[in-house]
Chains A and B, each alone.
Chain A
Amino acid sequence: MLVDLQGPWSPLLGRLALSQIPYENPILAPLFVVVAIMGIAIIAALSYYGKWGYLWREWLTTVDHKKIGIMYIIIGLVMLFRGFMDGLMIRTQQAMAVGPDAAGYMGALHGYLTPYHFGQIYSAHGVIMILLAATPLLVGIMNVIVPIQVGARDMAYPYLNAVGLWITAAAAVLVMASLFVGDFSHNGWFGIAPIFELPYSPGVGVDYWMWVMQLAALGSTLGSINILATIVKMRAPGMTWLRLPIFTWASLATNIIALTSFPALTVALALIGFDRYLGTHFFTAGLGGNLMLYTDLFWLWGHPEVYFVILPAFGMLSEIIPTFSEKPLFGYVTMVLATFGIAGVSWAVWLHHFFTMGAGPDVISFFSVATMLVGIPTGVKVFNWAFTMYRGRLRFETPMLWSIGSLFLLLVGGLTGMMLAFPAINYMVHNSVFVIAHFHSMLLMIVYAIFGAVTYWWPKIFGFKLNEAWGKAVFWLFTAGTVGVFVPMYTLGFMGMTRRLDYVFNTQWQLLLDVQMLGIAFYSLSVLAFLGLLYVSIRDRAKSRVSHDAWGTTHSVEWMTPSPVPFYNFAVVPHINARDEWSWRKEHGFTDLRPDHYEDIHMPKNTGIPLILGVLTFLLGFGLTWRIWWLCALSLALIIAVVIIRSFDADTGYIIPADEVERMERAHHDRAQAAVELPQAGVPGGVTAYGQGNKPAAKGEVGAPGSGISSPEGSRA
């Protein structure tokens, strides 16, 4: 042992002992029972219905980018729920623990959470929401959509894609494990130097945090290489750079950020690892360490990370708003320039996360002005979306509602962001709940865009639409939650309340903390409504089946292939003629999806190796956290062995013969034709984006040249 650990250690179990299982905790123990029962129920159901083989063949070993994307999104949604529960506990604690007379329960002096437990909850909330909810949701959507949008059959590296997924899953399992085995970190999602050093965090919490972040970072880095390679090398013939769909542009920018910034995080965390495991002094206060160095290194990644999550959201809005405005995007080139402008500036603003750390006025002025520069391209984007609506024909279906909600949150977040960029203002609101409200406005802006995107692309992936009424109910309940929580929070910021208070010392803040609980109640209802939405939509799926062009006014390449998308995406790789290819084809009457000839398709084979690597990575992370050295050595050796063995496997693909493709395509078209009612003009989903006339389309215009809607088999109208 190179460092002095408090508490026992044994060669077999490391720091793990029975006492590390919080079986006496009145919150965690019942939760564990519930989780265990649910796990057993799922296993029993899978066995009863004999679905293990299906699960293994179709999901666990898949390299299909759409299924991997869906699994990313499922991880994201599950972790979003976990993160929400953490948020609910934070809000409840703060509402309960106001003033010295507030009652205390379960060992806490005030409220029901002891300070260290509270610290773990807000840290887990941050880590989960950013790295294991927002990131997987966005990566999942990019995974599903980008290859189809560029007209490719899969990612550039399908196997690497699956490896990225299972490493991300390992990170999610590791953070969940910290609930029931040991503690999580209490030093915030970004790590407050030097609390993460051994003298101040002697338990395993910080180790959990460090390895969860490391694994999530590794997964994202692998994913970004893949998406970049796919966009650069796998575009369909004819898709020049200026014909690239706007969401793909956003994905390109965002993954350049990811690929170049995540290594900074990896290094920063590795140096903490050296401090905690080897007794070095990189970030300690004494013996030559410099704790400010950590803060710099972290935000050197952390701020680009913010744009890593926001740019895909901007891309989603840029797809949804034109579709429901029945009009192409205003100022495409400007939009691309703005996207790369934001990506470029993202590298020069990190210091605004710690204006209060005492840098000189010259340095602070530079970073303040650089931060404000972000407002220029962002402002341009907002104006462009507004002018996309201008002279449009706006339909307020659920994806559009989410997008408009997102736009307003962006305005609020932008306004408060410009306040925070001002050091003179920042000194007053840094570390206050005003900052919390600001970045929640921005992250919720992303969540709104994600919900919009999920609703928007859902029919593409599953072949049926989500229920409109339930979707709107989710939107309004969620919005009530957002307003109810964050308007009072901004207000509390002006009252001077700071963040992370386990005990709230000022009783004047009680009222607004209670109002926030009302918002939390609406959020809880929206979670239930979301489950209802899924249930009702899946139950009624036969009634809501759609053809390839689910919304009737879509414009990009992904809508040129059947819904649900076949596993090979396109029977014949399309030739791209225009920026909004599908709109162009609708205008020119090329709406028949059936090619005149079929060809052999080369597809990657399924493989179980990524899943095995994921399991081994989890074991490595767990072993490192608990300092079980034999487990670390064993799992690391196995990871290296498995990677080497796989590299000798030359037979990783297979050919689908042209006849087989034709048979499957026919089945797709027959099924679609049987299920789908022909969309009607004048109803949502029935009118083209580029109708010639300026008047609303009348009934009976369907199928006319330029109105662009054809039946699934192309000639019925």
Chain B
Amino acid sequence: MWIERIARWVRYLALAPLLLLSGCSTQGFWLFDPKGPMAHADLYYMIIDVAVMLSIVGITALMIVWFMWRYRKSHGKGKYDPKWTHSSAIEVVVWGIPIIAVGFLSYYTVQGTYALNPYDPTVIKGHAAAGGEPLEVDVITTDWRWLFVYPKYHIASVNELVVPAHTPVHFRLTSTSVTNDFFIPQLVGMIDVMPGMRTKSALLANHVGEYQGFSADYSGAGFSWMQFRTKAVTAEQFQQWTQRIQASPRRLSYAAFEEYAKPYIDVSGKPEYFSGVQDGLFDHILGEVMNGKVWPIPMAMTENMVDYMKEQNARTAN
């Protein structure tokens, strides 16, 4: 029956979307397009791992397909041996191959863990001499905005991270309310940003440019809008930028911060700037949160939020 014959082939169309893989290029593939040594090392280890694993998994998959073809009941060419259930040689091989592969990968995983340890990444150390003094940035997440404090310059910016290229940047991160995840795919992998805790991370941008950063861990209603632009600029541009922000009229003491940290869904993502940032603001916030300071979410932002969003839409429209 021709209909049956067609039907038999039509079902393999189920696998057709695999063809879409052929459309892959690095365009838009942030993970394949690193712009700094941290992200670059991530990609390097990914290639090692995938190469090793794919050689095993791919061969296994082909082997299964071959067995399926050769030993199929109807017209299969394979010899049927219903008593064959054991072979010591094969047992050694099937245990041996995974053990060797895991042993090999274990070496690289440990090496990679130290190389990319967010507290002290060795991949950046080599670049430190060339780039000069590292820049310190304190990252504070609130519900639901990013605040980047540059303690040395007493400035802070919201939703915008500006760093000099070719200079190591060291981050200290904390949150005022719930956990977020600091992530700039083309520059550095994720690190949790937790309330009452201080984590660290570091990055180095090799190329001047603008990169997307965002929160990767769900933190509540405004989470989907928690993006920040990361601008890697030249050293001169960075100096000019800090001077411009230092002239900004808004000042950030802890009292002002308490007001700023109230829950707010920042759909516009517009950057804001502060000058005159209080000394030790990061440690002060950390201490307050550890002592039980919370910024509770009002009920209206944790129910279906229809009314709240309408109100906010109206506000942003104005």
Contacts and interface: CB of A to CB of B under 8 A. Distances in A.
A495 B186 CA distance: 10
A715 to B, nearest CB: 25
Interface in B139-167: none
Interface stretch (B12-20, B129-137, B230-238): B12-20
Contacts of A522: 14
Interface stretch (A226-234, A286-294, A450-458, A644-652): A286-294
Given A334-B91, A491-B21, A505-B224, A415 B190 contact: no
B191 interface: yes
A484 interface: yes
Interface stretch (A170-178, A427-435, A567-575): A427-435
Given A384-B94, A411-B57, A415-B54, A194 B304 contact: no
Nearest to A380: B94
Interface in A339-398: 354, 356-358, 360-361, 364-365, 368-369, 372-373, 375-376, 378-380, 382-384, 386-387, 389-396
B54 to A, nearest CB: 7
Nearest to B292: A286
Nearest to B312: A109
A186 interface: yes
Nearest to B97: A379
A242 to B, nearest CB: 13
Contacts of B31: 428-429, 493-496
A330 B290 contact: no
B42 A199 contact: no
A195 interface: yes
B29 A356 contact: no
B2 interface: no
A501 B293 contact: no
Contact-residue size bin, chain A (C-beta under 8 Å from the other chain): 35 or more
A488 B85 contact: no
Nearest to A94: B224
B224 A115 contact: yes
A116 B99 CA distance: 46
Contacts of B190: 356, 427-428, 430-431
A342 B80 CA distance: 32
Nearest to B144: A115
Nearest to B316: A109
B267 A109 contact: yes
A503 B224 contact: yes
B185 interface: yes
Given A291-B196, A487-B21, A356 B189 contact: yes
| B71, B200, B212, B307 — most chain A CB neighbours (10 Å) | B71
B83 A203 contact: no
B182 to A, nearest CB: 9
Given A199-B294, A384-B94, A372 B227 contact: no
Interface stretch (A46-54, A250-258, A321-329): A321-329
A231 B318 CA distance: 69
B221 A414 contact: no
Contact of B41 (A186, A375, A424, A515): A424
A203 B303 contact: yes
Given A186-B302, A356-B190, A694 B45 contact: no
B299 interface: yes
A193 interface: yes
A418 B105 contact: yes
Contacts of B15: 479, 483
B20 A488 contact: yes
B109 A365 contact: yes
Contacts of A365: 109-110, 113-114
Contact of A194 (B43, B86, B118, B178): B178
A341 B309 CA distance: 51
Contacts of B83: 690
Contacts of A577: none
B17 A383 contact: no
A621 B290 CA distance: 33
A356 B181 contact: yes
A399 interface: no
Nearest to B43: A428
B24 A418 contact: no
B64 A419 contact: no
A632 B112 CA distance: 52
Contacts of B313: 104, 109
Nearest to A387: B90
Contacts of B183: 431, 498
B82 A691 contact: yes
Contact of B116 (A330, A427, A430, A432): A427
Given A373-B102, A394-B71, A418 B53 contact: yes
B306 A694 contact: no
A495 B20 contact: no
Contact of A331 (B13, B91, B295): B91
Given A369-B109, A695-B80, A200 B85 contact: no
B225 A503 contact: yes
A408 interface: yes
Given A372-B102, A423-B109, A356 B223 contact: no
Interface string A466-493: 0000001000110110011001100101
A25 B305 CA distance: 11
A551 to B, nearest CB: 13
A108 B309 contact: yes
A483 B19 CA distance: 11
Contacts of A193: 179
Interface in A35-92: none
B214 A375 contact: no
B106 interface: yes
A116 B301 CA distance: 8
A411 B58 CA distance: 9
Given A368-B109, A483-B14, A285 B194 contact: yes
B219 interface: yes
A419 B53 contact: yes
A292 B193 CA distance: 12
Contact of B14 (A106, A354, A404, A480): A480
A158 interface: no
| B39, B218, B227, B296 — most chain A CB neighbours (10 Å) | B218
B261 interface: no
Contact of B80 (A192, A326, A328, A479): A326
B243 interface: no
A247 B113 CA distance: 38
B298 interface: yes
A418 B57 CA distance: 11
B177 interface: yes
B281 interface: no
Given A186-B302, A379-B56, A419-B50, A358 B17 contact: no
Interface in B166-215: 175, 177-179, 181, 183, 185-186, 188-192, 194-197, 199-200, 212, 214
29 contacts: A107-B304, A109-B309, A115-B222, A193-B179, A195-B179, A200-B177, A285-B294, A286-B291, A329-B85, A331-B94, A356-B189, A358-B119, A358-B191, A361-B114, A365-B109, A368-B113, A369-B109, A373-B102, A389-B68, A390-B71, A419-B50, A421-B109, A422-B46, A424-B189, A431-B183, A431-B216, A480-B14, A501-B223, A503-B225
Nearest 8 pairs of A and B residues by beta carbon: A427-B189, A107-B306, A424-B112, A285-B196, A285-B195, A496-B30, A379-B98, A286-B292
Interface of A: 6-7, 22, 25, 104, 106-109, 114-117, 119, 183, 186-188, 192-195, 198-203, 205, 281, 284-287, 289, 291-292, 325-332, 334, 354, 356-358, 360-361, 364-365, 368-369, 372-373, 375-376, 378-380, 382-384, 386-387, 389-396, 404, 407-408, 411-412, 414-415, 418-419, 421-432, 472, 476-477, 479-480, 483-484, 487-488, 491, 493-496, 498-506, 508, 515, 518-519, 522, 689-691, 694-696
Given A116-B221, A328-B82, A428-B42, 13 more contacts: A6-B299, A114-B221, A116-B301, A183-B302, A192-B217, A193-B179, A285-B290, A329-B85, A331-B90, A364-B113, A365-B113, A384-B94, A432-B216
